[in-house]
């Protein structure tokens, strides 16, 4: 069982226009689509599509319109009833592929609601092998929120606590690395540079490994650093590996990072070694990038490209 937490979900509304956006004018839209956005939700969707049990925990008001696309995604969820509504991210697309994004402000999550979310994660983690904390925090939350979740889960679950993976950025990731002693982080090259406070050359796997050694294994057991179309680097206490992503026809890279994290965890649950976990992350990320919108890859979507893993 893989449990995910999405503490700051977003309703992704995409409006497709027949022509380029003309600010200040009235235009007819061709279609509109709504999807349940959020990194933890995305990870759960990929895990569920692979036939593995998953639970997605998220704060969600009983009358929130986000419930409709979330239900359509078919995953098992633990909605924590809260007062505020999920924020909306609007994307306006035109036939030339130009996208204008407008992100509405989210409303704060109260202290009581945050505590309810932590409690729900602790309860949901009873049978979990992995707990995934993914995405940004609400503006109102302290940067240490994920650390609080981690402490609560470990205090309650003790030796049977799940392993913990974090896909976050900025202060939330910084706090997790400083105080969370987690099993896996999944930054991209930009998030890693911000975390370490040093420039990261995405074209140098050796350079990335050297930088990451400042925190792995001293503060984090393993780091999966994804590099978009260039591939990914995995660093653990045992070694470091690099693999190039396959050449694919890129359709939409939305959710590629979430899919690669899910691919890594699915391989881990299946007992794969480091090289095979990295290969699975790359395959799932590439499959996500070759599918439209936020459509998540199933095992049938994974390509048959040769992925060669190099020890670095």
Ligand X SMILES: Nc1ncnc2c1ncn2[C@@H]1O[C@H](COP(=O)(O)OP(=O)(O)OP(=O)(O)O)[C@@H](O)[C@H]1O
Smallest separation (angstroms) from ligand X to the CB of 122:
26
Q: Which C-beta is closer to ligand X: that of 156 or that of 305?
A: 305
- Contact between 90 and 68 (Cβ < 8 Å): no
225 vs 282: CA distance, rounded Å = 11
Judged by beta carbon, residue 49 or residue 134, the one nearer Mg ion is 134
Alpha carbons 167 and 73: distance in angstroms, whole number: 21
Give 116 or 248: the residue with its C-beta nearer to ligand X.
248
Question: Whose Cβ is closer to Mg ion: residue 257's or residue 297's?
Answer: 257
Looking at the Cβ atoms of 135 and 205, the one nearer to Mg ion is 135
> Smallest gap, in angstroms, from Cβ of residue 260 to Mg ion?
9
Neighbour tally for 22: CB within 10 Å: 10
Residue among 96, 92, 100 at smallest CA distance from 16: 92
With CB under 5 to 8 Å by kind, the binding choice for 196 among ligand X, Mg ion, none is: none
Which of 105, 24, 9, 125 lies closest to 58, judged by CA?
9
* Separation CA 194–CA 64 (nearest Å): 34
Query: Is 234 within 8 Å of 240 (Cβ atoms)?
Result: yes
Between CA 47 and CA 270 the distance in angstroms is 12
- Return the number of other C-beta atoms located less than 10 Å from residue 229's C-beta: 15
Rounded to whole angstroms, the Cα distance separating 8 from 223 reads 23
Residue 141 contact, options Mg ion, ligand X, none, Cβ 5-8 Å cut-off depending on partner type: none
Which of Mg ion, ligand X, none lies near 77, with the C-beta cut-off 5 to 8 A by kind? none
Q: Please report how close the Cβ of residue 159 comes to ligand X at its closest, in angstroms.
A: 32
Q: Which residues contact 155 (CB under 8 A, 6 or more apart)?
A: none
Residue 12 interacts with which of Mg ion, ligand X, none, CB < 5 to 8 Å by class = none
User: 80 or 296: whose CB is closer to Mg ion?
Assistant: 296
Rounded to the nearest 5°, which phi and psi values hold at 256? Answer: -65, -40
Nearest approach, Cβ of residue 288 and Mg ion (Å)? 11
**Chosen from Mg ion, ligand X, none, partner binding at 49 (C-beta under 5 to 8 Å by type):** none
Of 173, 82, 164, nearest to 125 by C-alpha is 164
Q: Which does 165 bind (CB under 5 to 8 A by kind): ligand X, Mg ion, none?
A: none
Shortest approach of ligand X to residue 111 CB, angstroms? 28
CB of 302 to ligand X, least distance (A): 11
Site residues (vs Mg ion, CB under 5 A): 257
Q: Residue 108 binds what, of Mg ion, ligand X, none (CB under 5 to 8 Å, by partner type)?
A: none
Report the interface residues with ligand X, using CB under 6 A: 188, 226-229, 231-232, 245, 248, 250, 253, 255-258, 260, 282, 285-286, 289
Residue 182 interacting partner from ligand X, Mg ion, none (CB closer than 5 to 8 Å by kind): none
Nearest to ligand X of 50, 120 (CB atom): 50
**CB nearer to Mg ion: pick between 151 and 253:** 253
Single out the residue of 233, 231, 226, 215 nearest to residue 257, CA to CA: 226
Cβ-based neighbour number of residue 110 at 10 Å: 15
Task: Work out how close the CB of 128 gets to ligand X at its nearest, in angstroms, rounded to a whole number.
Answer: 22
């Amino acid at each position: 069982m893989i449990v995910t937490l999405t503490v700051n979900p977003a309703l992704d509304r995409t409006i497709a226009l027949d022509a380029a956006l003309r600010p200040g004018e009235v235009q007819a839209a061709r279609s509109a689509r709504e999807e349940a956005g959020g990194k933890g939700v995305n990870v759960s969707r990929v895990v569920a599509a692979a036939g593995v049990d998953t639970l997605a925990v998220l704060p969600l008001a009983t009358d929130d319109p986000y419930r409709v696309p979330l239900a359509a995604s078919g995953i098992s969820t633990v909605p924590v009833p809260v007062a505020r509504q999920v924020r909306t991210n609007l994307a306006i697309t035109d036939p030339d592929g130009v996208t204008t994004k407008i992100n509405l402000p989210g409303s704060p999550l109260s202290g009581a609601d945050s505590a309810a979310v932590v409690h729900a994660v602790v309860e949901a983690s009873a049978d979990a092998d992995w707990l995934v904390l993914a995405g940004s925090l609400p503006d109102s939350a302290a940067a240490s929120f994920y650390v609080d979740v981690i402490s609560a889960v470990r205090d309650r679950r003790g030796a049977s606590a799940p392993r913990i993976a974090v896909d976050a950025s900025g202060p939330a990731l910084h706090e997790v690395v400083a105080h969370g002693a987690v099993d896996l982080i999944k930054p991209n090259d930009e998030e890693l540079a911000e975390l370490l406070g040093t420039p990261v050359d995405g074209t140098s796997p050796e350079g990335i490994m050297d930088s990451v050694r400042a925190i792995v294994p001293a503060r984090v057991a393993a780091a999966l650093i994804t590099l978009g179309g260039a591939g990914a680097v995995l660093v653990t206490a045992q070694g470091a590996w690099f693999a190039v992503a396959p050449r694919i026809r890129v359709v939409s890279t939305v959710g590629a990072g979430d899919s690669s994290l899910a691919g890594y965890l699915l391989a881990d649950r299946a007992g794969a070694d480091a090289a095979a976990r990295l290969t699975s992350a790359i395959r799932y990320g590439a499959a996500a990038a070759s599918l439209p919108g936020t459509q998540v890859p199933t095992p049938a979507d994974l390509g048959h490209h040769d992925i060669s893993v190099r020890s670095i």
